[in-house]
Structure 1
């Protein structure tokens, strides 16, 4: 990546415009050279692509050879099958001839047996004749009988001879038939041998074709391996080029925040003992900047602060690495920008500011010459014209080593459940049941560098809000969703719907786009939103439209987006308002404002592009309060402990937590409005109630509740829930809950600046004296 550290140093130390121009030109030249390197890599990639194309063509050629070989193999197999059929037919014919031979042989054996029998008979007759002749010689009177017997024997002999002749003829015929059968069998055998030879030849051809196919396949495999290797090499080069480009972007994005104007934007609030008004006076360079009017979805009002670098938000994707360093991965408007979590959280990037707080309790002889508090912010560090009151960087911008980041990343949205953790993304029902202790575990699934919202994050919007609007009371400008807690029963029962019927007045209570839950209560009378049945028909869904029914009832139908899942309603069905979805202010024109009304108490708002007040408390992660009750004196107060590095956040106070130099007074187990805020120069980002007084229209206009008097640790809940009304605001604080407590109205906001160094670390590195 381009080494532009020297140019960055030149930019930091530049005094004259020409020095800035020269450093910037040098920086761009280096980036240009880096781009040239990138073009070289790109050319190499193109060559690799050409090589890959040639290899692919080779693969295609080999594939054609394989196809041809496979076709030959198919033809050979077909011929083999034909030869096999011929062999089977010849074998069948041979078997038929064999049967004929066996039959002829059997007949021949039968005739032979007849011949042997006739011959035996002839021998017997011959013996008898010989006896007759002998008897004739001896007995003359028996001659005639002997002659007769001889004639008879002769006839028998002739018959036997004839039978023998016939048998011989039959035997000859059988032998001829056997010969013919043998000839046929020999022919069949020759044909069989020929068929076998042909089959053997075909098999040899098939084997050759198979061998050719295997060779072609091997060549194709080798070509594929080569192509894969070339592809991988190209991908590696592309990834290296991508990383190089990302590295250049990592160097260039901070340059967006290097345009210093050196101006000081201040606001002065009179001392509370002089006046309890919530408004102040813009001073220094801020005096010439008009106070903006918040916008809506329909109307864009002018906001001159959008053109001042220190106040100009940059919507982007970003993340924090393990060391806590911030990285911007894409800026809105670039094709890489995403809101689906694939490029990290959706954040607002702000130029690092340096804040100076001067509290003058003396007046004429004091540092300001008048009693009150002056808060100033500038875009670069410099010596303060008020000795002992230094400019201090946003604590969110201080790195663990004490150096200062050029910008900070503030998650734009409240936390949503995503990828087993909490992220800043639009379009979700916000996370709920969040506790101080629980969110430590949940955020650490993303890494030790992530945590919930910190007082360092809040310091930025709390400070800039007072400077922009010259007002300590945020609800005097934008109320937020803090008075939107109504619940109504269905007026009419329906089946298979995604709506609920209400009276006209009830339906008009709900702004389009707000979030509701619909539940069938049955016989229950408890409408606590923490009950599961309050969400059993439609759970935290958006209102899509409201329209009058086509009847004489005067009722209205309120439709919700339940994802196409219909439900039945009855007169025991209840609809409840719920915290708005994240991203509900995205259609507001400009960087601050609410969807329809900034003052009706039903809607969230955004400031500096950051979305606030959806209707839930946001749990602060870096503060643990320690309640101290003195029974003898019957007094109670809360000590404030904080930890700078989220890597060491814990469920109890440990050695990494430091105690602030002021305490929060007892509110008497009731709500009390803030009159003054405490201040510790070592922890300037944590400004909590140090004195009570006034009401919702005076001073800060926000309330604090410290709970019952009891020793033990407590958590810090900010902003306000659906029904806190005028108690709520940017300085609002619920300080009585235990660290493991949660509920449907407990949420979170991710923080990317949890790994921080302390103000003391920064002051030591700069040689700044923090003590007044």
Structure 2
């Protein structure tokens, strides 16, 4: 068929519905010489799927958590998230602005995304870098005394702006948007990736992300405000609530540590008290350490020196009081009753068998990650934003968003960073809860004060005292012991920009290089 041929649309299983009314000319064109689909053909293909509708949501500024769907969004029922074996019921599937596809690909040094495979084309694999591809969206956000009103469309309407990070630094519009499907992991050579089945890369910080991603030269970066914005907007439009954990709790209440009850050698299991084993989920990840030190903190090497982030594959009762937890490990190990077994963040791909939005077995038990719009989140760790930092000035704080991560540096924001104001909080150090959210310079951030885990946004923001001077990193989502402090809007602003620990992760971003919030 030559070096520049059209992919067989009959193999594009996941996009069959979208192609039914289209000719072969609408199918993305694969170039054998580059090993990529042409960006122009993908953009044209996505354009054929537009519905031109304006989907809106009105977010009340008061304590009420319920939002109101507006425009074309009014009357569309909230999805019913799924679990493995019971697919989600999602009326938004294949609707204009909510369209997405799983792809393999990446980003060039100038910020231009590329696609090498599309799910269903015979080339796609979740063990290669996997992204969620969406059309570029257009948005209008207005504010009244009572509400913030957001409208999103796949077609630009009067007054609308392009979504955050839609413009490349040279002013060109991206042909499409890419969002990492999976949390960050690294291969044997330390190369960052977004793949299924891998142990997530933790012990990272804002500053280590700059060097790990080679941000200044690759176009690659840690998760950005634009990646965060997409998930939040999709959640608000689809589920119409400010309380994200009421729908997807994430792995935020799974802080379990256990001592073995039986010592064994040459084994792949750990025998523990039955009551403790009942708290452990098959498919989740754990560490086992000789626990020769005095601290139970999972960041200490002696608490994961036997195995690190092994998957629970089954549980078998040994007797009335004890249960054996079996692990997927490369080689057998020894246990002792002085050892310590602990839960840690799930491995990437935990939600692969979930069809649509949802979690493996429960969306609200606070033990499991979830997937929304194909993006897997809430694995039991923070996700560091790579282009957002918080500056404490001695009299208050300012959040900065850097449009182009090529300028990102360790220790502080570059001069090109834009102010997003401050997130809520009193002058003293502590947890705070905002009443509502709005987008400022591409970052969706909490506003107002006086809420809690049950009213307003419901997700906590932690800040240090206003008298503090220095830079702090933006830790989103929350780790596996945060419960109600965590959620889509949760932020910890406590740690310096170079602080890294066992529950600090992130994900790749193809959207770090941008001209800023598009006009």
Work out whether the TM-score is over 0.5.
yes
Shift of 1:665: 4.1
Tell me the residue number matched to 1:40.
none
Residue 404 to residue 356, structure 1, CA distance change in 2 (3 Å): same
Query: TM-score, normalised on structure 2?
Result: 0.91
* Correspondence for 2:379: 614
**1:701 equivalenced with 2:453 (yes/no):** no
User: Is the 8 Å Cα contact of residues 260 and 338 (structure 2) preserved in structure 1?
Assistant: yes
Indicate the larger mover: 661-670 or 325-334: 661-670
Name the residue aligned to 2:237: 467
> In the alignment, what sits opposite 1:414?
183
Offset of residue 340 of structure 1: 3.1
How far off is 1:309 after superposition?
A: 3.0
1:558–1:657 distance in 2 versus 1, CA, 3 Å: same
How far apart are 1:475 and its partner, in Å? 0.3
1:271 matched to 2:31? The reply is no
Deviations 1:657-714 (A, max 9, x none): 233355654462111112233554xx1x213233222211112110011123311111
Match of 2:493 in 1: 735
Q: 2:366 aligns with which of 583, 601, 606?
A: 601
- Indicate conservation of the 8 Å contact 1:414/1:611, yes or no: yes
- Alignment partner, residue 350 of structure 1: 134
Q: 1:705 to 1:491 in 2, by over 3 A?
A: same
Match of 1:717 in 2: 475
Distance 2:60 2:249 in 1: 24
1:649 paired residue among 408, 413, 422? 408
Contact 2:388 2:400 in 1 (8 A): yes
1:686 aligns with 2:443: yes
**Residues 450-478 of structure 1: CA deviation (Å, up to 9, x unaligned):** 10000011111111110100011110101
What is the alpha-carbon distance in structure 1 between the residues aligned to residue 142 and residue 353 of structure 2?
Answer: 38
2:251 is the alignment partner of 1:481? yes
> Which of these residues, 291, 306, 313, is aligned with residue 521 of structure 1?
291
Structure whose CA Rg is larger = 1
Tell me how far apart the structure 2 counterparts of residues 266 and 574 of structure 1 sit (CA, whole Å): 49
1:247-301 Cα offsets, whole Å, 9 max, x none, are: 66443222331022111111123331xxx12111111111131111110012113
Q: Deviations over 1:379-410 (max 9, x none)?
A: 11111xxxxxx322111222223232242000
Check the 8 A contact 1:452/1:620 in 2, yes or no.
Answer: yes
Given the alignment of the two structures, is residue 360 of structure 1 paired with residue 120 of structure 2, yes or no?
A: no
Shift of 1:448: 2.8
Q: Which residue in 2 is equivalent to 1:674?
A: 434
The verdict on how the C-alpha distance between 1:28 and 1:569 changes in structure 2, with shifts beyond 3 A counting, is closer
Instruction: Determine helix, strand or coil for the equivalent of 1:740.
Output: coil
2:346 to 563, 574, 580: 580
Per the alignment, residue 559 of structure 1 pairs with 326
The CA RMSD measured in Å over matched residues stands at 2.4
The answer as to whether partners of 1:673 and 1:696 remain within 8 angstroms in 2 is: yes
Q: Distance in 1 between matches of 2:36 and 2:295?
A: 57
The answer to whether the 8 Å contact 1:664/1:688 transfers is no
> What is residue 214 of structure 2 aligned with on the other side?
444
Offset of residue 499 of structure 1: 0.8
Secondary structure class of the residue paired with 1:347: strand
CA distance in 2, matches of 1:3, 1:644: 36
CA contact (8 A) 2:424 2:434 kept: no
Q: Which has the higher contact order (CA 8 A, sep 6+)?
A: 2
Say which structure is richer in strand: 2
Deviations, residues 473-523 of structure 1 (Å, cap 9, x unaligned):
11010100000011011112222211111122111111111000111224x
Q: How many residues align?
A: 499
Residue 455 in structure 1 maps to residue 225 in structure 2: yes
CA separation in 1, counterparts of 2:439 and 2:277?
A: 47
Are 1:257 and 1:309, in contact at CA under 8 Å, matched by a contact in 2?
no
Q: Deviations over 1:40-97 (max 9, x none)?
A: xxxxxxxxxxxxxxxxxxxxxxxxxxxxxxxxxxxxxxxxxxxxxxxxxxxxxxxxxx
Pairing of 1:61-210 with structure 2 (within 5 A)? none
Q: Which runs of structure 2 are paired with 1:17-56 in the superposition (5 Å)?
A: 28=25
Gap change, CA 1:537 and 1:603, over 3 Å in 2 = same
Matches of 1:253 and 1:445, distance apart in 2:
26
Contact 2:37 2:114 in 1 (8 A): no
What residue in structure 1 maps to residue 9 of structure 2? none
How far apart are residue 427 of structure 1 and its match? Answer: 0.9
Is the Cα–Cα contact under 8 Å of residues 4 and 32 in structure 2 kept in the other structure? no
User: Alignment partner of 1:402: what SS?
Assistant: coil
**Using the alignment, how far apart are the partners of 1:285 and 1:505 within structure 2?**
50
Partner of 2:118: 331
Give the aligned partner of residue 278 of structure 2: 508
> Which residue of 419, 431, 435 corresponds with 1:659?
419
Secondary structure, counterpart of 1:467 in structure 2: helix
Contact 2:217 2:406 in 1 (8 A): no
Which residue in the other structure is 1:548 paired with?
Answer: 317
Taking the aligned partners of 1:621 and 1:376, their CA distance within structure 2 comes to 27
Query: Unpaired runs of 5+ in structure 1?
Result: 5-20, 36-240, 362-370, 384-389, 631-636, 764-772
Question: Helix, strand or coil for the counterpart of 1:546?
Answer: strand
Q: Secondary structure at the match of 2:489?
A: strand
